[in-house]
Structure 1
Amino acid sequence: MDFKIAVFNAARDGNLTRLKVYLHSWRSMDDLNMLVGAKVGGTTPLVIACRNGHYDVAEYLIERCKADIEQPGSVTFDGETIEGAPPLWCAAAAGHLPLVRLLVRAGANVNSTTRTHSTPLRAACFDGHYDIVKFLVENGADIEIANRHGHTCLMIACYKGHIKIAKYLLSLNADVNRKSVKGNTALHDCAESGSLHILKMLLGHGATMDVDSYGMTPLLAASVTGHTHIVEHLISVEYGLVTRQQRIDALELLGATYVDKRRDMVGALALWKRAMDDRFPADGSEPIPKPKDVPRIEAYDFAVEPSDSQQLEEILADPDAMRMQALVIRERILGPAHPDTSYYVRYRGAVYADAGRFARCRQLWHHALDMQRAVLPPLSPLTQSSLYSFAELFSYMQLEHGRPSTRGRIVPPVTIDDVEPVFKKALSEIDRGMEMLDVTKFSIDREQTLTTLQRVLVISLQLATVMSKLLAEPDCTEDTVRRIHKQVYSLVKLDIKVRQGRSALHVACSGGNSSTSRGAWLSAPADAAPASAALVALMLRLGAPPDARDAAGNTPLHLAAKLNPCPAEVVRELLAHGAHIDTVNYDGETPAEILKTSQQNIATMVNPLRYTTLKCLAARTVKNYRLPYRHVVPQCLHSTIITH
């Protein structure tokens, strides 16, 4: 029996009787400490007992077994894994007050933190465990310790809408105007969550209208999230919290939110009219006309914002014009750097795609992608997501060409004119990522960069797969062939190396199945591209080396052989272009052996003898019988012997 797992399972299930049986069989204190402190799945028995609220188990482990009350572990809350969580943090987060008391009484550090610098107090604030919050504070918990993002206990209580906890923290003089790493305050969090009661409390304790790193005030944050009651309270004239211009911006931005989130065109128009009346007041005050230097954007149908109430009325009859107004207003007020600006452009494009209006979708998505690449760092998750949406859209169009879409429109064909501009932007993003990799020194940052670089490479390969399928279409012209070859050659020429030292061909040969589904236009990038024989053949013809090795000595053929089911056409293409079926990786495996051990029917896929040369057999004989060859065989053949 594995006593380590048995002890852990008993603690997890709260079975004290079974736990005692397992632990009493060990007389040595050292062995007992080893079992009690051992981790299963990154978690100790005490951590899992505290997470699951098993008081008697935790008490036994602490008082009789002398378990380390500070030893952290990994726990899961709401599907998210928390790394480095001490037992007290787990008990506080899960709302087990008796366990919190037990641990504090045993001497647990009330200000211990997880790997992300979250304290037990912050964990209790997150889920609204008021009694635990009060107990921890009374026993020395510091209310101002922030997590790695700079979010304090007050901020999270405001964001989650826990009125009683927020009121308690304010009574302890919590810093209402403290800023997080991104510059937001508790007032921002409250405005986003929509709690008017907490908002009034914050204002009563001196909260100010600061801006975050995106230039957003709490007022604009409420407008973006659509909390009308928060906006109305903040712009009330009697409070004097905002300027006239800020009030106008808030109303116009709230109107844009009504269009995109609520689909309420009439409500949006009413808000925009109020803003227009504020711009041109009847009392003769100085007017504040709309800015005249706002560029007219093709993706928005060159929409111009109305300059008076009559023009506003006219656009209500045109739903598309209203939607474009919302995008224009959001970009003007929030700017291209704000995530919501590009998100709603992409969202509107996705709506058009679902309606079968693919050209409008592509136009908007290109604008969003261009904005992101202009203001975001290389390999940004937002940029990845935009590129991936294009890849999914093109794959869907190629699969469904000629069939009716959701709204009955016939899905048009994908052309090289559609894919080429996106592919160029994807390769440009890879170029930027490789430059960033060159200056990344620390191993953790380098590994993270390699991971994100691989995701962009996968998306590029998905786009290249779409282009490679165009070559097989009967109406494919010489110009299309030339352009596709040029683009895929550009990818091959990059000679990129991503995680585990894999080349672009490695990644192309190691993917799974495509997961394209109608309507999933805003999904996150995948980590593996579908293995496509057409793309692999094209890459090989354009110079991708079939014998390249990754960090484990695998060739692309090794990786293709490991797939289940194995893509037979990919294997044949690799072999036809010079890949060796008997090349040995660093674990001593050949592709032929991998295919046999994975119960693949290699005989129906390829004939190994057809791809085994006399040179291969001779090299294997030299290696198998450990024959000396250094000064016997010509130098040019040494690499052949080594690879076999």
Structure 2
Amino acid sequence: MVKMSSGVWGFMPSRCRWIETLRHCGKTLLRRQRRLLRRIKKVYLHSWRSADELNMLVGAKVGGATPLVIACRNGHYDVAEYLIDRCKADIEQPGSVTFDGETIEGAPPLWCAAAAGHLPLVRLLVRAGANVNSTTRTHSTPLRAACFDGHYDIVKFLVENGADIEIANRHGHTCLMIACYKGHIRIAKYLLSLNADVNRKSVKGNTALHDCAESGSLHILKMLLGHGATMDVDSYGMTPLLAASVTGHTHIVEHLISAEHGLVTRQQRIDALELLGATYVDKRRDMVGALALWKRAMDDRFPADGSEPIPKPKDVPRIEAYDYAVEPSNSQQLEEILADPDAMRMQALVIRERILGPAHPDTSYYVRYRGAVYADAGRFSRCRQLWHHALDMQRAVLPPLSPLTQSSLFSFAELFSYMLCERARPPLRGRIVPPVTFDDVDPVFRKAISEIHRGMELLDSKLSIDREQTLTTLQRVLVISLHLATLMARLLDEPECTEEVSRNIHKAVYSLVKLDIKVRQGRSALHVACSAESSRARGGAWLPAPGDAQPCCAALVALMLRLGAAPDARDAAGNTPLHLACQLNPCPAEVVRELLAHGAHIDTVNYEGETPEDILKSTQQSLTAIVNPLKYTTLKCLAARTVKNYRLPFRHVVPQCLHSTIITH
């Protein structure tokens, strides 16, 4: 389990590599902000700048934040007072601030002071006329910011000065919801005393009772029920009871299912106990506790008092990824599976999928989690089997290019890269990692290509979408697909590669080339394969690269070129794949040679007038160290360059078929 916690399988990304960088950047930014404040004070006191220049300085932004925003974020009362009273700073001008590593865009000064818990500053701003209901770009109010971190005195002050307790953020989350989720009992009690809407729903249909059940605060839950909270369902069909079961808050579940309250039906009680048992298996690794909960549910299904039994559904399909597991139908069968930990784990997955359904994020998450555990134990086949099932569920119910689908595809790419890395090392404690074969990679690659197809259809549709965001997510899936294609291209050099495997690899990669896809900045698949994006995905911060892997894979580039990828394709900036390859430092020499061998022009200029050689010089690299330029310079190229350099009129002199050649040079 060490690998999962460090982010090897794409669940919880490791922060240790960049947290120090963030801290350093934060200190540098703070120094720049302080210099700006000192400059303002000097300008004002010595009066050697005009009022317009002073206003420009007061309104200037460092790291997206104005001086007043910086002062309010960091609790500098005297600086804020000086800016407001003496410099006449705009008390509503928003800026960007960082809380707990997250950047908040468009935050007004009052929001910053309330979020950081600086009550004197909040009073100063309100006294100066600040709008108590101003919002950030995500529609978060100063009151909601104070509720988030439990600043009760600020919450009370803002409400007493006209703050609206019912303004929700863009997700529909109200002040009461966030107070319940964060477990701030005093604030929740205060908001309820003001008759906050206890059953209001967010965009995804959850209520304050859902948030309370997820956070595990029994005291707040009792308060909400006392103020008329009801057991509503959210957009996933989840009740607060099921939400508590999924998160493993046994005390919340026990309170809600107790007969004296009469809040839930018998079927709901059974589902809650079975789902809580599944959580015990996967989250707590408590097999005995899970079995006890499942027994209680079984007794509830077949009560001893002669009540009508509620047997388990019989039409639940048996799934290969779960070893065709069937749920026990009586207590004796339950006892038998306790002796088999794997059977218990499969039961947890079966129960979760039956109760939550395939559309719920937790269903696929725990399937992937179980697969990661198998991978850590060296059972890669079982891992792939479970991950394919999770990916199939996601693609069946989620929209194209969903982040969850991307994550699943990315996990496969990580797994294959890890296996290749491990095979290149001496076996650890006799553990032998099996080779990565075409049959392993191809099913994932085909699903990635299918996802690209769905994304392209979404772009071509008349639906109202954020086109730039869609292109960005499409590019991410393309990068993953290129990494998988790289793994297949490397298999061509393996001694075990037969003619049939070679033919199948060519067919698979051709299916990507023939898409003729265009992503961000008008780049083709070959552009991306030769660019920094692909480098980061293969050899940089994204994926471990096997052995002596190049930043971008010459074997893949050569294969794509042989299959018809255009070496002279241009992106929105006029760059060819050769331009992008030369932007890398160090420049991948083999990739450059492959591009030139397949018809790329060494002297093609982009829209900035730069040739690949010019780009190499800007990074202190030399083209002659990679290839002999004369070998790839033709008489046609020299003639076109001469016409272009001397600006000779050519449109009515040379044949039109040569115009494009002259322009590109």
Q: Same fold (TM over 0.5)?
A: yes
Q: Which amino acid is 1:478 matched to?
A: E
- For the 8 Å contact 1:111–1:120, the answer to whether it is kept is yes
Q: How does 1:162-241 map to 2 (within 5 A)?
A: 162-241=184-263
Q: CA deviation at 1:109?
A: 0.3
Aligned partner of 1:499 in structure 2 is 520
Q: How does 1:222-261 map to 2 (within 5 A)?
A: 222-261=244-283
Q: CA deviation at 1:514?
A: 5.0
Cα distance in 1 between the residues matched to 2:279 and 2:152:
34
Alignment counterpart, residue 533 of structure 1, candidates 541, 554, 558: 554
Q: CA deviation at 1:283?
A: 1.0
Q: Which amino acid is 2:369 matched to?
A: Y
Are 1:282 and 2:304 an aligned pair?
yes
Q: CA deviation at 1:26?
A: 4.6
Q: Which amino acid is 1:573 matched to?
A: E
Aligned partner of 1:565 in structure 2 is 586
Are 1:637 and 2:658 an aligned pair?
yes
Are 1:474 and 2:495 an aligned pair?
yes
Alignment counterpart, residue 415 of structure 1, candidates 437, 442, 465: 437
CA, structure 1 residues 221+580, in 2 after alignment: closer, same or farther (shift >3 Å)?
same
- For the 8 Å contact 2:480–2:537, the answer to whether it is kept is no
- For the 8 Å contact 1:355–1:407, the answer to whether it is kept is no
- For the 8 Å contact 1:402–1:410, the answer to whether it is kept is no
Cα distance in 1 between the residues matched to 2:34 and 2:50:
25
Are 1:374 and 2:377 an aligned pair?
no
Cα distance in 2 between the residues matched to 1:150 and 1:440:
27
Q: CA deviation at 1:401?
A: 2.7
- For the 8 Å contact 1:437–1:446, the answer to whether it is kept is yes
Aligned partner of 1:615 in structure 2 is 636
- For the 8 Å contact 2:613–2:622, the answer to whether it is kept is no
Cα distance in 1 between the residues matched to 2:427 and 2:124:
61
Aligned partner of 1:598 in structure 2 is 619
Q: CA deviation at 1:398?
A: 2.4
Cα distance in 1 between the residues matched to 2:483 and 2:424:
21
CA, structure 1 residues 614+14, in 2 after alignment: closer, same or farther (shift >3 Å)?
closer
Describe the SS at the equivalent of 2:106.
strand
Cα distance in 2 between the residues matched to 1:14 and 1:242:
61
CA, structure 1 residues 564+120, in 2 after alignment: closer, same or farther (shift >3 Å)?
same
Q: Which amino acid is 1:139 matched to?
A: N
Structure 1 window deviating more from structure 2 (223-232 vs 14-23): it is 14-23
- For the 8 Å contact 2:353–2:363, the answer to whether it is kept is yes
Aligned partner of 2:158 in structure 1 is 136
Q: Deviations over 1:72-117 (max 9, x none)?
A: 1111111111111100001000111111000000000000000000
Q: CA deviation at 1:553?
A: 0.4
Q: Which amino acid is 1:634 matched to?
A: P
Are 1:28 and 2:57 an aligned pair?
no
- For the 8 Å contact 1:379–1:456, the answer to whether it is kept is yes
- For the 8 Å contact 2:200–2:208, the answer to whether it is kept is yes
Cα distance in 2 between the residues matched to 1:439 and 1:372:
21
Q: CA deviation at 1:14?
A: 9.1
Q: CA deviation at 1:34?
A: 1.7
Q: CA deviation at 1:611?
A: 1.1
Q: Deviations over 1:522-544 (max 9, x none)?
A: x9xxxxx9511110000000000
Q: Deviations over 1:289-348 (max 9, x none)?
A: 111010000000000000011100000000000000000000000000000000000000
CA, structure 1 residues 413+251, in 2 after alignment: closer, same or farther (shift >3 Å)?
same
Aligned partner of 1:436 in structure 2 is 458
Describe the SS at the equivalent of 1:75.
strand
Cα distance in 1 between the residues matched to 2:32 and 2:126:
20
Cα distance in 2 between the residues matched to 1:358 and 1:517:
24
Cα distance in 1 between the residues matched to 2:611 and 2:462:
35
Aligned partner of 2:535 in structure 1 is 512
Q: CA deviation at 1:406?
A: 7.0
Alignment counterpart, residue 574 of structure 1, candidates 595, 599, 602: 595
Are 1:152 and 2:174 an aligned pair?
yes
CA, structure 1 residues 539+237, in 2 after alignment: closer, same or farther (shift >3 Å)?
same
Q: CA deviation at 1:551?
A: 0.3
- For the 8 Å contact 1:39–1:45, the answer to whether it is kept is yes
Are 1:62 and 2:84 an aligned pair?
yes
Are 1:46 and 2:77 an aligned pair?
no
Q: Which amino acid is 1:269 matched to?
A: L
Question: Cα RMSD between the aligned structures?
Answer: 2.0
Q: Deviations over 1:174-225 (max 9, x none)?
A: 0110000000000000000001111111111111100000000000000000
Structure 1 window deviating more from structure 2 (34-43 vs 498-507): it is 34-43
Aligned partner of 1:332 in structure 2 is 354
Describe the SS at the equivalent of 1:84.
strand
- For the 8 Å contact 1:403–1:411, the answer to whether it is kept is no
Q: CA deviation at 1:12?
A: 3.7
Q: CA deviation at 1:564?
A: 1.1
Cα distance in 1 between the residues matched to 2:60 and 2:502:
60
Cα distance in 2 between the residues matched to 1:392 and 1:15:
45
Q: Deviations over 1:349-370 (max 9, x none)?
A: 1111111111101110110000
Aligned partner of 1:461 in structure 2 is 482
Q: Which amino acid is 2:122 matched to?
A: V
Cα distance in 1 between the residues matched to 2:427 and 2:310:
45
Q: Deviations over 1:584-642 (max 9, x none)?
A: 00111100111122111332211112111111111111111111111111111111110
Q: How does 1:331-410 map to 2 (within 5 A)?
A: 331-401=353-423, 408-410=430-432
- For the 8 Å contact 2:206–2:235, the answer to whether it is kept is yes
Q: Which amino acid is 2:423 matched to?
A: H
Q: Which runs of 5+ in 1 are unaligned?
A: 1-7, 524-528
Q: CA deviation at 1:404?
A: 7.0
CA, structure 1 residues 385+471, in 2 after alignment: closer, same or farther (shift >3 Å)?
same
Describe the SS at the equivalent of 1:495.
coil
Aligned partner of 2:470 in structure 1 is 449
Aligned partner of 2:25 in structure 1 is none
Q: CA deviation at 1:30?
A: 2.1
- For the 8 Å contact 1:192–1:222, the answer to whether it is kept is yes
- For the 8 Å contact 2:40–2:57, the answer to whether it is kept is no
| Paired residues, number | 629
Describe the SS at the equivalent of 1:602.
coil
Percent of matched pairs sharing the same residue = 87
Alignment counterpart, residue 82 of structure 1, candidates 104, 107, 114: 104
Structure 1 window deviating more from structure 2 (242-251 vs 506-515): it is 506-515
Q: CA deviation at 1:408?
A: 4.7
- For the 8 Å contact 2:150–2:187, the answer to whether it is kept is yes
- For the 8 Å contact 1:509–1:531, the answer to whether it is kept is yes
CA, structure 1 residues 63+536, in 2 after alignment: closer, same or farther (shift >3 Å)?
same
Q: Deviations over 1:53-86 (max 9, x none)?
A: 1111111111111111111111111111111110
Cα distance in 1 between the residues matched to 2:455 and 2:636:
41
- For the 8 Å contact 2:277–2:348, the answer to whether it is kept is yes
Q: How does 1:106-121 map to 2 (within 5 A)?
A: 106-121=128-143
Aligned partner of 2:19 in structure 1 is none
Q: Which amino acid is 2:559 matched to?
A: L
Q: Deviations over 1:206-258 (max 9, x none)?
A: 11100000000000000000011111111111011001110100000000000
Q: What TM-score does the superposition give when structure 2 sets the normalisation length? A: 0.92
Aligned partner of 1:5 in structure 2 is none
Aligned partner of 2:330 in structure 1 is 308
Cα distance in 2 between the residues matched to 1:15 and 1:58:
13
CA, structure 1 residues 344+406, in 2 after alignment: closer, same or farther (shift >3 Å)?
farther
Alignment counterpart, residue 320 of structure 2, candidates 298, 312, 328: 298
Cα distance in 2 between the residues matched to 1:190 and 1:493:
51
Aligned partner of 2:18 in structure 1 is none
- For the 8 Å contact 1:82–1:114, the answer to whether it is kept is yes
Q: Deviations over 1:257-287 (max 9, x none)?
A: 0000011111100110111111111111111
Q: Which amino acid is 2:258 matched to?
A: S
Q: Which amino acid is 2:136 matched to?
A: T
Q: What TM-score does the superposition give when structure 1 sets the normalisation length? A: 0.95
Aligned partner of 2:577 in structure 1 is 556
